[in-house]
Structure 1
Amino acid sequence: MNSDNLARIAGRIYRYIRDPMPHNQHDDAIWCLGRQYDSHPTSSDPDSTQPQTPPAASIPAPSATSDSIPPDSAATPQKEDEFEKVQVQEATNDNGWPPAFLDDLESRIWLTYRTNFSQIAESTDPAASAGYSWKTHITQLVKHGRVFTDDVGWGCMIRSGQSLLANTLQILEFGRDWRIGEPSDAERKLLSRFADDPEAPFSIHRFVKHGANACGTQPGHWFGPSATARCIQALVDEHSPSGLRVYVRPGDASVYQDSFMRVARDSDGSFHPTLILLGTMLGLHGFNTLYKEGVKAALRLPQSVGIAGGRTKSSHYFIGTQADHLFYLDPHETRPLLPLPLSDADIATCHTRRLRLISFQDVDPSMLLGFLIRDESDWDAWKAAIQSPPPTGFKSIVHIYDTEPSLGGDASTEADFERAMADVQSCDEDEGEAIV
């Protein structure tokens, strides 16, 4: 076994000891951004045990550039001794999770805290430091600086929002069946948009700049779902990747067909792929389990691009569900900056096979829901699914109406709006206050 494989296996073993991967303890189906996986597939069910493979031209050949390592036959010589084989098997133990699901998880884009990026200046407003977390206060005092060169302690919601947008673009440009392999020029180009560089269109520098100018969220302050949604909308509008447009309802989860179509359609009626972002608060003092089935249903939809959620220090990017748990990518892991240009090693830091899950009872109720509508038939399918009644005893989390109400509008429309507000307690900007 060569030294590179030994180092990779040692790192894998250390991570499993320090932070063990959870075991698959349920028979319930597994869902990941609209894809379903059998929890315990049999060898006679190839579709469940193997990743779904798109056309050869759209998916690169597999390699070991990510957090995973090659199978035994590729990683070790044919006559490798038994001890080394055991080490490989232990280091690649998937704890009962279906390989096809983990392949899907590993192919999602995962953006996290980064350090040593080019400076982001603090606000010149003396009152701005009042919004810092205690950790940010201490860090800035130790550095004796008026600049930020990392986002540790305050950038987790930005990173969750970046992850949601990056996976939206990945699905739009590569297709939902794309799986990780050798880094390609296309993947490098996509991830370069999120590099920690002021020139990158979706860098943390751009998020912070728009947050300060348009949302009143200063550098070093934690972004809420509303500010994150508005930053995504503004930056996408400015750079228009793949013709994507963004429809935002940052303070409630109500979608109005007339205003949505004004965003998605051109004057000639042509439809553009549109990302729907809905900010909502699903509970006052914790997650209200009346909305549990609604969250599950949202992640099961083929239009789902995940949920960015949480308050200070607790933001996550949720991508799937099983039983009463959510699967998520954690932005709180700290890594060196994502530079320009990107190396293969840099790209590998944007993927992980390390599964994380959380119980609904431990989820923060502040959420930013994301859905990608590719065309009008996709809109019709999504609308029909959203309008399906929830299971008995549960409440819907998204509502669709034909016309957006206006001041002085018709009473029946306003009454519908008020009923929606009673059903879904909405999120007000960064403070997380409920609108009633």
Structure 2
Amino acid sequence: MCNATRDIMDCMFEVHSEILGDVDDIPQTNEPVWILGKRYNAIQDLYQIRQDIISKLWFTYRKNFVPIGGSEGYTTDKGWGCMLRCGQMVLAQALINFHLGRDWLWEPDSRDSAYLKILKKFEDKRGAPFSIHQIAAMGETEGKAIGQWFGPNTVAQVLKKLIKFDSGNQIVIHVALDNTVVISNIRDLCCVSVTDSIKIDWKPLLLVVPLRLGLSEINSVYIKGLKKCFQFKQSLGVIGGKPNLALYFIGYVGNEVIYLDPHLTQRSGSVDNKLTDESKELDASYHCKYASRMSILEMDPSVAVCFFCPSESDFIDLCQNIKDKLIEEEKQPLFEVIYEMPTEWLITSDSVATGSDIAGGSQESDKDEFEIL
């Protein structure tokens, strides 16, 4: 079957399914649906839920791009780039929240210049600051050869390095150590003196907290806390997946998590200024019409919880919510928040996450990266 015929049949099937109501992306339930800090009613707000989901930048496998790793390198990331794509989705959402706002919605014919500028940063080109090329190359500094799977911690560490090279960028990334968010470390990173220490400015923060929530499967004691993270207004979701399959989790309903799946191979190309039908079609390929969902118990226990704090007040509010809803209310908190790093900790690197990364197929050790005296 030729590609054109297959595309036509796929389109006919999609339209037919919609007419018959066969699309099962969001269950018809009275339980609340949470998408990155927003609460919806599945029955009353189905259209709004789908508009919210389709507005997220959806990065998937691509093919036929400029080779990664030299002329004989990879021209597709199929089979190895799923966690790299999930990292792109988290960072892209942070940029959209900062430059366009959490309530911004994508439209097929929109040519918003701020949106197009963000999208260009992730195109499959060597020169794009957050392209698959840049992420894969920077991964070598984390011990990952090009073409090797990443885990949640690795992709967070790579993005933390790359964002420093993005000209004009204002966002900073902090990757929390050892299940602990240290407030003073983040303030040192985000608070900048503008004029002789008279005025303090805040750099927008993308906070990533790598966690290990079980051995081979998620311990049910963590489920309630993980759900609460999606409820915070600062939520940027969770990067993780199933064993050997990385996914970007953006919300939940009941005991199921809602996610965007990068495991679809699409053609690469440039949207440019979105002036042609071809560029509009390519732009649409960066937006998933229907999210998927699965039981939260099916998630791999290696995850990274992500938050975005555009202002200091947002960060203070996040810390208070973590304290009130994740620490004091939970018998087994997901992670801790403290003001100062304990003096007995000798930090040799802040590129540590407790446990090893399984999602995406990688096995990562932190045994040599910090020492407790």
TM range, smaller chain: 0.7 to 0.9
Q: Cα distance 1:168–1:286, how it changes in 2: closer, same or farther (>3 A)?
A: same
Q: Cα distance 1:7–1:389, how it changes in 2: closer, same or farther (>3 A)?
A: closer
Q: Which residue of 1 aligns with 2:256?
A: 325
Q: Which residue of 2 aligns with 1:160?
A: 86
Which of 122, 125, 139 does residue 194 from structure 1 map onto? 122
How far apart in 2 are the matches of 1:271 and 1:326? 32
Which of 304, 315, 328 does residue 368 from structure 1 map onto? 304
Which of 133, 136, 143 does residue 205 from structure 1 map onto? 133
Q: Which residue of 1 aligns with 2:151?
A: 224
The TM-score with structure 2 as length reference comes to 0.83
How far has the Cα of 1:312 moved from its partner?
5.5
Q: Cα distance 1:311–1:198, how it changes in 2: closer, same or farther (>3 A)?
A: farther
- Report which stretch shifted further, 397-406 or 285-294: 397-406
How far has the Cα of 1:253 moved from its partner?
2.8
One-letter amino acid of the structure 2 residue matched with residue 322 of structure 1: V
How far has the Cα of 1:408 moved from its partner?
6.2
Q: Which residue of 2 aligns with 1:314?
A: 245
Q: Which residue of 2 aligns with 1:74?
A: none
Give the secondary-structure state (helix, strand or coil) at the position aligned to 2:321: helix
* Match runs of 1:8-87 below 5 Å: 10=12, 12-13=14-15, 21-22=24-25, 24-41=27-44, 49=45
How far has the Cα of 1:427 moved from its partner?
2.9
Which of 329, 341, 357 does residue 404 from structure 1 map onto? 341
How far apart in 2 are the matches of 1:245 and 1:10? 44
How far apart in 2 are the matches of 1:434 and 1:231? 16
How far apart in 2 are the matches of 1:161 and 1:15? 31
Q: Which residue of 2 aligns with 1:298?
A: 229
Cα RMSD between the aligned structures?
Answer: 2.7
Q: Cα distance 1:159–1:242, how it changes in 2: closer, same or farther (>3 A)?
A: same
Cα displacement string for residues 4-58 of structure 1 (whole angstroms, at most 9, x for unaligned residues):
xx989515247879x95345143211110000011222xxxxxxx4xxxxxxxxx
Residue 117 (1) aligns with residue 57 (2): no
Q: Which residue of 2 aligns with 1:104?
A: 52
Q: Cα distance 1:385–1:379, how it changes in 2: closer, same or farther (>3 A)?
A: same
Q: Which residue of 2 aligns with 1:415?
A: none
Q: Which residue of 2 aligns with 1:271?
A: 202
One-letter amino acid of the structure 2 residue matched with residue 10 of structure 1: M
Segments of 5+ residues of structure 1 without an aligned counterpart are 1-5, 42-48, 50-97, 123-144, 410-424
Cα displacement string for residues 205-261 of structure 1 (whole angstroms, at most 9, x for unaligned residues):
00011111x101001100111210111111111115541111112x53310011011
How far apart in 2 are the matches of 1:284 and 1:408? 25
One-letter amino acid of the structure 1 residue matched with residue 338 of structure 2: Y
* Match runs of 1:242-281 below 5 Å: 242-249=169-176, 252-267=178-193, 268=197, 269-281=200-212
8 Å Cα contact 1:107-1:180 kept in structure 2: yes
Give the secondary-structure state (helix, strand or coil) at the position aligned to 1:118: strand
8 Å Cα contact 2:28-2:43 kept in structure 1: no
Cα displacement string for residues 155-195 of structure 1 (whole angstroms, at most 9, x for unaligned residues):
00000000010011011110011111123222211101000
One-letter amino acid of the structure 2 residue matched with residue 316 of structure 1: L
The TM-score with structure 1 as length reference comes to 0.71
Give the secondary-structure state (helix, strand or coil) at the position aligned to 1:397: coil
Cα displacement string for residues 343-367 of structure 1 (whole angstroms, at most 9, x for unaligned residues):
2221111112212101012111111
How far apart in 2 are the matches of 1:266 and 1:399? 25
How far apart in 1 are the matches of 2:335 and 2:50? 29
Give the secondary-structure state (helix, strand or coil) at the position aligned to 1:234: helix
How far has the Cα of 1:281 moved from its partner?
1.0
How far apart in 2 are the matches of 1:318 and 1:33? 9
How far has the Cα of 1:335 moved from its partner?
0.4
Give the secondary-structure state (helix, strand or coil) at the position aligned to 1:158: helix
Give the secondary-structure state (helix, strand or coil) at the position aligned to 1:317: strand
How far apart in 1 are the matches of 2:179 and 2:249? 17
8 Å Cα contact 1:279-1:368 kept in structure 2: yes
Segments of 5+ residues of structure 2 without an aligned counterpart are 1-7, 347-352
Q: Which residue of 1 aligns with 2:215?
A: 284
How far has the Cα of 1:405 moved from its partner?
2.3
How far apart in 2 are the matches of 1:234 and 1:109? 21
8 Å Cα contact 2:163-2:169 kept in structure 1: no
How far has the Cα of 1:378 moved from its partner?
0.8
How far has the Cα of 1:399 moved from its partner?
1.4
8 Å Cα contact 1:246-1:277 kept in structure 2: yes
8 Å Cα contact 1:284-1:434 kept in structure 2: no
Which of 301, 324, 335 does residue 266 from structure 2 map onto? 335
Give aligned-pair identity as a percent. Answer: 28
Q: Cα distance 1:197–1:382, how it changes in 2: closer, same or farther (>3 A)?
A: same
Comparing both structures, which one devotes a greater share of its residues to strand? Answer: 2
